[in-house]
Every structure is written in structure tokens, then in C-alpha cells.
Structure 1
Amino acid sequence: MKKTIVLAIFTLQGNGAERFALTLAKGLIDAGHEAHIVYFKNIIDLPIPEGVKLHFFDYQKYRAIPKFMRSGIAAKAFDKFVLKNIGTPDLVLSNLLPVDFILSKSQLPNVHLVIHNTTSLEYGERLEGMRKELTKIYLAKPCVAVSQGVEKDFIEVFGRKSKITTIYNPIDVKQVVSTASEYVPDIDTPYIVNVGKFKQQKRHDVLIKAYAKANVQEKLVLVGTGELLEASQRLVKELGIEDKVVFTGFKKNPYPYMKHAKFMVLSSDFEGLGLVILESLALGTPVISTDCPSGPNEILPSDCLVKPGDISALSDKISAYSQQTDNNPVRLDRKFLPDYAASQYLDLII
């Protein structure tokens, strides 16, 4: 029987949660169901799969309402918007805190909040000050973690009353592979690549220092933008490696850079799952990653992992991968494919 699934997200800019929503929506459509994405801010940077229906819920006008009243009022408006434009959904999946804040008060059936990151590390020192508010949000609805590590951390933060299960983020291998052939990056090969937003979590400083210490021939290509981009550029200049590091800026389609790289490096302090790892493996590109909470060690074997923040260990691993000619990538497990994820999400429907 055909089901109607709503995925709610703040914007459709190029980050992991947004790509997850689009990939899962396509997987649900391929399985014969109806997928609708409701987005709160009118920014679309990502290609929309055929058949996915988009709906813009203008959240901006609710931001003037005091916060203690806002979630209830906006949730009623969201519910009314969905019922009018889509009908009664069989499943609603909320993504990221600004949307979770609203949908925790939704009265629509089968609302689940998808937890994309390791809660304790995402909020860090702010957690204690936000614990009461976050507990109200994340114990109000059942939740879905994108990795076992995220689920374990969630329970440690919110306690035994937590209603959470794990469904791994899916990767659309066919779409990634076909999109990766759209162009060839104008960069001398071989090179090392990192794709990610320039923010503290991603630890570009650790990657840049480890790369400089490794002193390998391959260039380092950094794909992305963010608030720490200029700091990273300054660090590259201080280390005297401007001629070896390429900053590409944001790329709507980063897959050609991943496809043509000798290997990918992820240097994060924490992840939810590490979608770029799955994307690289789908393209046959080997990956080195920090063994951060959480996700990478649920995808990669231990010999591909190093301790987070350990510049020397990461440098040694970069040197070793640079010298090898047979860095065979890990094969993707079926649990990371869209049809498998779609079936697990459909099982949440009561």
C-alpha cells in the first residue's frame, strides 16, 4: 500500500542532513511511495531527485514570537500546512534542531526526530545550559539515530526514557557515480581530498598540520566553505604550503573531486555517521578517517582510522597511503543503501 512520507528540513543547502533527506526521499519513491520535503527557509542548492515534491513552509514570520510560545504556534501552523498541501502523512521525519524544536509539538501521526550528530559533542560546553530545553524536545517524540554511536550517546545524554533506534544514513550509489562524471577537476593528479564545511567539528587545522608534516608530493584539495575558511587559509600560509593546498570553495557537485582523488581524509572530532566516507567508497576512493564518535568505525576497518586530534598519527597514515599504489577501498555494506533505509523507515509506521 502506497504511503505518504514527509521529510522536514530547514534548508536544502549542501550539508549532510540535507543530502540525507533527498536520498531517502528518492529511495522511498523508488520503493513505490510518495515523498514530500517541507523546507523552512527558501534556499535550494542541491539537485532535487525526480518525483520528490517540495513545499516551502515560511517559518520566518514565526521568529518574532517569543521562544516559549513559538514552538506550539508554529507546530500548529506546520500541521495545518501539511494537511492542506499534502494530506495526512503516514510518517513525518524531522531533521536538525530548528525543525525538531517545532515538530516536537506536532500533532501529526508518526512524527520522528532524526538525530544526525553525536549530541554530547555537538553541544559541548553548551549542553548543560540547554539540557532542559533539549530534553523537552527529544523526549517528546521517538527518535532515529544515524549510527549506533549516535544512539548510545543520545541515551547517555537523555537517559533511559529515550525512545530511539538506529537506521544508517543511505547513499545513492548510482546517483553519486553518475554525478561524479559530470566534469573533471582542473587539478594535477594524484591529489588528496577533504570535503566538508569549515567549522570546528571538522578540524581542518589538524588535517593541514598533519599534511604539512607528512610532506608528500600530492596536493591537498579542500572542498567547502564556512566560518573557519579564512583561519585555515592563514594556517596554510604560516606553514608555507600555499603552493600545495587548493581551496575550491563550495561545490554543488563535489563528487568529481572525490572520484579523481588518490584518497580522502576526514579529520573530524566527531560525526553523526560521516556521509562523505560512504560517498568516497561508492566512488572507489579509499578513506583515512579519525576514529571519532561516531560513525567512521562502523564503516571502516581499524587500519583506516587514527585517534582524533593526533597530528603525528594522521601524518603517518597520510604518508603511508601516499606511498601505496593499491589502497583498495572498503566495500559498502547493504545497510547503507537507500532501499534498505527506506524499508526500515517504513517499518516505523504504526
Structure 2
Amino acid sequence: MRRIMIVTNSLTGGGAERSMNLVSNELTKRGWPVALVPINFSEPDLVDLACEVFPLNRQWRGGIFNTLSAIKKFNQVVHSWKPDLLVLNCDLPELFGALLLSNRRMVAVEHINRPWITRLTFGRMVRGFLRIRRVTWVAVSSHLTIWPEGISPNAILLNSLTPISVTMPTKNQTDKNPKLTRIVFIGRLTPQKRPEWILEIVSKSGLNAEIFGDGLLKNALQSQAAEHKQNIIFSGFVRDPWSHLGLGDLLIVPSEWEGDGLVVIEALKVNIPILVADIPDFRRFGLPDKNYCKNIDDFVGRINQYRDDLYSLVVAEEITDSILASRSLEVVGDAWEKFLNSA
């Protein structure tokens, strides 16, 4: 079997990283020689890695010399381990792959429909270098094309579902229909995710909220919440936010756009009541209309409608099962193995 080196942003940080950690373990279990190279320093993930790991320990926002040092170390790791194929998982690994000094076969993974959103010109340059290096493109969802040309990916390789030990009781498992007591947000605090909507929804609904996640908007959001004396807890990045949820919680996902929408998929597994933005990236899941909201007032209206009937916002089992079936690690592992054998 060929030697596979998977390059990620970090060990932890989001669904894309954890999903690739799981894929690394699954391929290792199947006998593939796999090495994982997380670029940024981070705490260990919930997933215990079974493959070789070569952390580059780049500091996030550490400056150009910090990045150049990590690129040098990356080249040394590649030279030493001698992979037959590199998998570049997200924007930063794409940059490192573009600047690799040796000639290696590479596969890049498209996760969202607007990559390099804050550095479009630089992103075009990086992908231009990758095109010259004849990189093969895959995507994590069939609704994604490869930016900026809009071409179709060579393969669709879904993200695997993270093993989740916490599951809310269903309506059939309890006599209680809990009343809505708290709004929950899980995700990066970036413009794409529209976390500022949570603050507006809290103001208009009078509810408490807890925000799990970190990002560029955190300080501004905290200041705004304090200014308006809102009862919102900012918990930062939490490796397992689902273990902090309970009866009476409502997950709100107000994203302007998404890639795979892993938070929604994990929420379906947990059986938590959920409201999501009415965007094409979420409409593809085929949830009931009552779970979609077009704007802030729509979210508030739906909250008021189901305050005392929260279980009505839990997605039915038959819909959930149809979405989750293709996300098992075995199915995702089969897809990756088939692709690697043909790449």
C-alpha cells in the first residue's frame, strides 16, 4: 500500500479536523501506512490517534517568520517520511502543499463553497500553484464545486460522524416535554456563522444563551452582550460541547453559508431540538419546514411558537437515519480506500 500523509490545520478546531483524525485512524486500522501532520499548535483531540503524528506547532497569528519556520519543518518531515500521496485538508495545508520543495502527488479536499474568503487574491495564487502541480481535487459534499473555476471534484468523500456518547431522550422515552430555557450556538465566531444573530435573538426572546466556539468576533460579541446586560455565556472552544447540553436547550445554526454542515449532522445524532438558517446548504438535508428560519424575526417567531412544545423541533428518526447512514466511519473508510486505490 502507498504511504499517505494527511496535512490538517490542527489536531482540534472543527469538524473537518476531527473527521480527518477519524479517517487517519480508520485507514491505519485497515493497514495503510498513514502519517498526520497538524500545522497549528492545539490541544489533543478527543480522538486518540493510532497513526504517526508530526506536529509542526505553528502558532496561530504568529507572524510570517513563524509560518516560514513551519513550512521548512514541513519540507523536512516530507523528505524524511517519503509519502507517496499527500492529502491537503483546508486552506492552510493547501499553502504548505503549494510551497513543497519536492515533487509529490497531492490531493486537496474542498470543504466549503467559499474558501479563502478573507484572502481571495492570495487564495487564487495558491490554487494556481496547485493547478500547476496537477493536484487532484475531492469534496466533502456533492453540492460543492472547486473554487475558483467551479469545476466538479474528482470524487465525493463525505466527512465521518464523530462518535458522540450523549443523546437526548426522545419523546417516546420520557413523559416530559421540556420547556425551552436556553439557546445554544456551536461553531466558529466568524462572519460566515453569523453569531451576532444569537445576541439579537436573545434580546427579542428574553432567553439565556451559551455560545461554544472561538474566533475573530469573540471580543466584539462579548462587549456587545455586556453592554446590553444579556445573560450569555461565552464558553470558548470546547472539545465536546454536546456533553454540556441538556433538556430545555435549543440549538440555533444561523449560518449565512456552509460547507458540509457538520454541526447540524451531529445535532441530529444527539436528538437536540434545532432551528437552522433557510439556506441551500441546509435545505439539502430535507428537514421539515418548521426547522428552517429565513431571518432573525423568523427565528424569534419559531421560538415563541414552540417554547412549550420543544420536542416538535426534534427531527424525526426516519429523516435522521437517512442522513446519518452514509456518515458511519466504515462507509466513509470504504470510500476513502476506494479513492486511494484508484488515485
Q: Is the 8 A contact 2:186 2:212 kept in 1?
A: yes
Taking the aligned partners of 1:233 and 1:214, their CA distance within structure 2 comes to 19
1:74 Cα deviation (Å)? 7.2
Taking the aligned partners of 1:163 and 1:347, their CA distance within structure 2 comes to 15
1:123 aligns with 2:117: yes
Taking the aligned partners of 2:184 and 2:22, their CA distance within structure 1 comes to 23
Q: Is the 8 A contact 1:192 1:264 kept in 2?
A: yes
1:233 aligns with 2:228: no
Taking the aligned partners of 1:24 and 1:131, their CA distance within structure 2 comes to 28
Q: Is the 8 A contact 1:259 1:284 kept in 2?
A: no
Structure 1 pair 19/261, CA: closer, same or farther in 2 (3 Å)?
farther
Structure 1 pair 260/248, CA: closer, same or farther in 2 (3 Å)?
farther
Counterpart position of 2:202? 211
Q: Is the 8 A contact 1:269 1:290 kept in 2?
A: yes
Q: Is the 8 A contact 1:94 1:111 kept in 2?
A: yes
Counterpart position of 2:164? 176
Counterpart position of 2:79? 80
Taking the aligned partners of 1:114 and 1:33, their CA distance within structure 2 comes to 19
Q: Is the 8 A contact 1:267 1:289 kept in 2?
A: yes
Number of positions where the alignment pairs a residue of Structure 1 with one of Structure 2: 319
TM-score (norm. length: structure 1):
0.77
Further displaced range: 340-349 or 51-60: 51-60
Q: For residues 302-341 of structure 1, what are the structure 2 equivalents within 5 Å?
A: 302-303=288-289, 304-307=291-294, 310-327=295-312, 328-329=314-315, 330-331=320-321, 332-341=323-332
Q: Is the 8 A contact 1:75 1:105 kept in 2?
A: no
TM-score (norm. length: structure 2):
0.78
Mind listing any 5+ residue stretches in structure 2 that lack a counterpart? 169-178
| Paired residue type of 2:4 | I
Mind listing any 5+ residue stretches in structure 1 that lack a counterpart? 181-187
> Structure 2 residue aligned with 1:191, among 178, 182, 187?
182
> Structure 2 residue aligned with 1:299, among 262, 266, 285?
285
Q: Is the 8 A contact 2:183 2:250 kept in 1?
A: yes
| Paired residue type of 1:213 | K
Structure 1 segments of 4+ aligned residues over 6 angstroms from their partners: none
Counterpart position of 2:46? 47
1:145 aligns with 2:145: no
Taking the aligned partners of 2:268 and 2:67, their CA distance within structure 1 comes to 46
1:266 Cα deviation (Å)? 0.9
Deviation track 1:136-165 (CA, whole Å, cap 9, x = no partner) reads 33573111212223x23x25x2144x6443
1:92 aligns with 2:79: no
Q: Is the 8 A contact 1:264 1:288 kept in 2?
A: yes
Taking the aligned partners of 2:301 and 2:107, their CA distance within structure 1 comes to 42
Counterpart position of 1:348? 339
